[in-house]
Amino acid sequence: MMEENLPKSRYNVAVIGGGTGLPVILKGLKKLDANISAVITVADDGGSSGAIRDYINVVPPGDIRNCMCALSDADPTLIELFQYRFNTDDDFLAGHAIGNLLIAALKEMKGSMSEAIDFLSRFMKIRGQILPAAPEALVLNALFEDGTIAIGESKIAHHRKKIQEVIVTTTSGDEAVKASPRVVDAILEADLIVLGPGSLYTSILPNLMVKEIGEALLKTDAEVVYICNIMTQLGETENFTDSDHVEVLHQHLGACFVDTVLVNTTEVPRDYILTQPNEEYLLQVKHDFKGLRNAGCRVISSEFLSMKQGGAYHDTDRVVEELGHILNTTKLHCKNASDVNVY
């Protein structure tokens, strides 16, 4: 949605991330009296998005599509059509989502991804604005502690090595400096910035490592909230505690910028962990509240777990309720929810 058409709301909220976690939170945030800006990673190089970015030279559309559907007030049938994915035996179209193809086509027709998204946002009745992190597809590079490098988001986890740092470059190998139009303003004008939930190295950090975005995060006066993952991830955060996640974020920007961390305290059922339907996830993230406080973070711990669709996810309603509390109060210790602990 064009910035001038955004409805007047009490607050401005910027949500930064990608993957499957971001749309879940965005859908819930529509309940708040807030203008929502979703800043989305453009380093995805797998699946339908990866194929389209390679063929058409466009930012990967998959996360954009999912976030549009999360923020859309359009007829459910239209959203279902937008999300429809062709069968695997459909030859060239196999695995492609209609929304991905439509976003790519509109980018070609309108001349820029920003104009394509603005057009689709009006058509899909988006409540908020969808902002790709950068105006072009980027490449995620991981430097491992043994000195080796993996190039490409989809290849990083396969190495099963400890990551020292990630770097984002353009397809020509230059430093990723420029953010997409309106991204920096959305961060600087926000009252609340939400990081995640999502893969630490492949969904959140690819946004932060765009130079203008990282600089804006260090400059903003907004409350920066990190929604810590519930489970560790194969090849990314194996054996990580919650404070390890935050330490990685701070190390990559060279400063302590996360103000508040939301931490789930509900135990994930052991039978789920033993019968993982998704091999990407390993164990429940362990708590290190002392480490989080030493990093300068407030900790809000609660039962944020929701077991659904065969997986361990954040409970959208509880997370959004807590984010609403943060928006509506100037000091976190003013909260009075009996089952929420603030450290």
Residue 162 has pLDDT above 80, yes or no: yes
At residue 280, the 3 state secondary structure works out as coil
The letter for the amino acid at 19 is: G
- pTM for this model (two decimals): 0.91
For 4, residues 6+ apart whose C-beta sits below 8 A from its C-beta are none
Domain 3-342 matching CATH 3.40.50.10680: the answer reads: yes
Helix (H) or strand (E) holding 195: strand 192-195
pLDDT digits (tens, 9 = 90+) for 9-42: 789 999 999 988 899 999 999 989 999 999 999 9
Burial zone of 146 (CB within 10 Å; 0-12 exposed, 13-18 middle, 19+ buried): exposed
Residue 330 has pLDDT above 80, yes or no: no
The letter for the amino acid at 276 is: Q
In the predicted model, what is the mean pLDDT of residues 103-107? 93
Nearest to 190 by CA among 39, 1, 4: 39
On whether the CB atoms of residues 237 and 196 are closer than 8 A, the answer is no
* Percentage of the residues of the chain whose pLDDT score is greater than 90: 72
Helix (H) or strand (E) holding 77: helix 76-83
Tokens standing for residue 306: 């929701």
Residues of the chain by 3-state class (helix, strand, coil), percent to 5: 40, 25, 35
pLDDT digits (tens, 9 = 90+) for 128-138: 999 999 999 99
pLDDT digits (tens, 9 = 90+) for 71-91: 999 999 999 999 999 987 767
Edge-to-edge strands, sheet with 138-144: 149-151, 138-144, 163-170
> What's phi and psi for 33, nearest 5 deg?
-80, 75
To the nearest whole number, what is the mean pLDDT of the chain? 89
**CA atoms within 13 A of residue 168's CA, in its CB half-sphere:** 30
**What pLDDT is recorded for position 312?**
85
Residue 163 has pLDDT above 70, yes or no: yes
State the distance between the two ends of the chain, measured CA to CA, in whole angstroms.
38
Categorize the per-residue pLDDT at 279 as very low, low, confident or very high, splitting at 50, 70 and 90.
low
Distance (Å, whole) CA 306 – CA 318: 10
In the predicted model, what is the mean pLDDT of residues 160-168? 94
Q: Which residues pair with 316 in a beta bridge?
A: none
Nearest to 35 by CA among 192, 225, 223, 179: 192
Categorize the per-residue pLDDT at 342 as very low, low, confident or very high, splitting at 50, 70 and 90.
low
Q: Computed from CA positions of residues 107, 170, 21, 31, in that sequence, does the dihedral angle turn out positive or negative?
A: negative
In the predicted model, what is the mean pLDDT of residues 204-218? 98
**What pLDDT is recorded for position 110?**
93
**Residue appearing with tokens 């210790």:** 333
Distance (Å, whole) CA 148 – CA 240: 21
For 147, residues 6+ apart whose C-beta sits below 8 A from its C-beta are none
**What pLDDT is recorded for position 283?**
87
In the predicted model, what is the mean pLDDT of residues 209-236? 96
